[in-house]
Structure 1
Amino acid sequence: MSPGDLSAILLTLKLAGATTVILILIGTPLAWWLAHTRSRLRWIIEPAVALPLVLPPTVLGFYLLILLGPAGAIGSAWVQLTGETLAFSFSGLLIASVIYSLPFAVQPLQTAFQSVGDKHMEAAATLGASPLDAFMTIASPIAIRGYFTAAVLTFAHTVGEFGVVLMVGGNIPGKTRVISIAIFEHVETLSYTEAHRLSIGLLIFSFLVLMAVTILHRRAPVRAG
């Protein structure tokens, strides 16, 4: 394997790992709110969270590029703050990945939190537990399968993403060149052996991810309140 491909693999793992951690932290309160709120805002926020599932990656990437570019609302503020641009940088790539993988973290967590039910939380409250204590000691352990599914799907989705990372990050070796971009570049240069090597790795990885999630959901029964 060439140093360039090895660098792309390491950068992809770094991006996927960081995206997963951020989305678990962000997705947990958001998924809990969606699972229990009766606010009318839910009918706006829930479709907005799921939007990356149906929106073409190039469309999302295009608008993120505008937003994160030097003239964009976020990009210009970032330039003034750091002197660097978000577009075509790892930081910009991370922001784009977090947005594009958001539903893969939130939806499994939301489903898991809905399965907790109200009885467990009400019982904890009668025993004097605060909402945070009840969440940490009751809801989170019951929803552990949701956390596992969210983490695995988010990581795998980030590893395989192409359209958004190409639009926002481009193809800068050691900085924004991830596995999917490396495969595309190998195909463009007719380096099919290198493209096949990386592609078969992603194929095996994706299969193992789906198999792990399937086995988990078949073996562990859903606990309802």
Structure 2
Amino acid sequence: MDSSFFTTLKLTFALAFCTTLILFPIGLALGAYLAHKKGALKTLLETLTWMPLVLPPSVLGFYLLWTFAPSSPLGEFLQEHLHLRLAFSFQGLVLGSVIFSLPFMVNPIQHALANLPPSLKQASYTLGKGKLSTFFKVLLPNIKPSLYLAITTTFTHTIGEFGVVIMLGGDIEGQTRVASVAIFIASEANDNALANQYALVLSGVSFALLFGLLWWQRRARMF
């Protein structure tokens, strides 16, 4: 294994970590809103949240590339005035991954909060606690399994994403070449041994994280 193999894996896991870290507070806020609100705005936000699950990744990647390409008005503005290049850059991969992995973070949190008994919140208010205190000290501790599920699935989904990252980031070694792209490139070059090495690492990490989560949930229900 050469240094590029480990560089690619490092970039892959850095992307997943950054995406998960950014999405966690977004997932908490959006999940809480969708769990407790009604109306047209909720329906619109739910639709937008679900869109990455039903759209082909290449479609989302195409529109992101079209929006943030240096030749586009927004891309040109960001690059000239903020010195921020999103197309074919790691920052762009983070943005694309945040959008594409959004439902994996939001949906478990939303459904867990929606299924909590209203008496929990009412009892907290009766004891004089405010909304924020109730949310962080009463509601969230009661949905820990769903929080861990949201974090784990967001991370594992991000390390395996291909369509969005190849469209928005391309294949730049050390900058945008993540493991899923490296598997495709190696397979196209008939280097099945290298493709298998990347695939085994991604499969092993995903299996270990999901198995650990399910094992912990099973043990927690027993005690």
Task: Report the Cα distance in structure 1 between the residues aligned to 2:32 and 2:71, rounded to whole angstroms.
Answer: 35
Residue pairs, 1:73-222, within 5 angstroms: 74-220=74-220
Task: Report the Cα distance in structure 1 between the residues aligned to 2:89 and 2:115, rounded to whole angstroms.
Answer: 40
Alpha carbons of structure 1 residues 154 and 74: separation in structure 2 relative to 1, 3 Å: farther
Code of the aligned partner of 2:32 = W
Deviations, residues 110-166 of structure 1 (Å, cap 9, x unaligned): 112112222111111111111001111101101111111111000000000011000
Task: Report the Cα distance in structure 2 between the residues aligned to 1:78 and 1:137, rounded to whole angstroms.
Answer: 40
Task: Report the Cα distance in structure 2 between the residues aligned to 1:220 and 1:135, rounded to whole angstroms.
Answer: 22
Aligned to 2:33: 33
Code of the aligned partner of 2:200 = I
Please report how far the alpha carbon of residue 73 of structure 1 lies from its aligned counterpart in structure 2 after TM superposition.
5.3
Please report how far the alpha carbon of residue 13 of structure 1 lies from its aligned counterpart in structure 2 after TM superposition.
0.8
Code of the aligned partner of 1:81 = H
Task: Report the Cα distance in structure 2 between the residues aligned to 1:56 and 1:45, rounded to whole angstroms.
Answer: 19
Task: Report the Cα distance in structure 1 between the residues aligned to 2:110 and 2:219, rounded to whole angstroms.
Answer: 20
Task: Report the Cα distance in structure 1 between the residues aligned to 2:125 and 2:142, rounded to whole angstroms.
Answer: 16
Contact 1:69 1:87 in 2 (8 A): yes
Please report how far the alpha carbon of residue 210 of structure 1 lies from its aligned counterpart in structure 2 after TM superposition.
3.2
Please report how far the alpha carbon of residue 205 of structure 1 lies from its aligned counterpart in structure 2 after TM superposition.
2.2
> Which runs of 5 or more residues in structure 1 are unaligned?
none
Please report how far the alpha carbon of residue 189 of structure 1 lies from its aligned counterpart in structure 2 after TM superposition.
1.5
Task: Report the Cα distance in structure 2 between the residues aligned to 1:105 and 1:78, rounded to whole angstroms.
Answer: 28
Code of the aligned partner of 1:35 = A
SS at match of 1:87: coil
Code of the aligned partner of 2:120 = H
SS at match of 1:128: coil
Please report how far the alpha carbon of residue 208 of structure 1 lies from its aligned counterpart in structure 2 after TM superposition.
2.5
Please report how far the alpha carbon of residue 203 of structure 1 lies from its aligned counterpart in structure 2 after TM superposition.
1.8
Task: Report the Cα distance in structure 2 between the residues aligned to 1:114 and 1:88, rounded to whole angstroms.
Answer: 39
TM-score, normalised relative to structure 1 = 0.92
TM-score, normalised relative to structure 2 = 0.93
Q: Identical aligned pairs, as a percentage?
A: 40
Task: Report the Cα distance in structure 1 between the residues aligned to 2:55 and 2:101, rounded to whole angstroms.
Answer: 12
Aligned to 1:55: 55
Contact 1:15 1:94 in 2 (8 A): yes
Please report how far the alpha carbon of residue 218 of structure 1 lies from its aligned counterpart in structure 2 after TM superposition.
4.2
Code of the aligned partner of 1:159 = I
CA RMSD of aligned residues (A): 1.5
Contact 1:112 1:145 in 2 (8 A): no
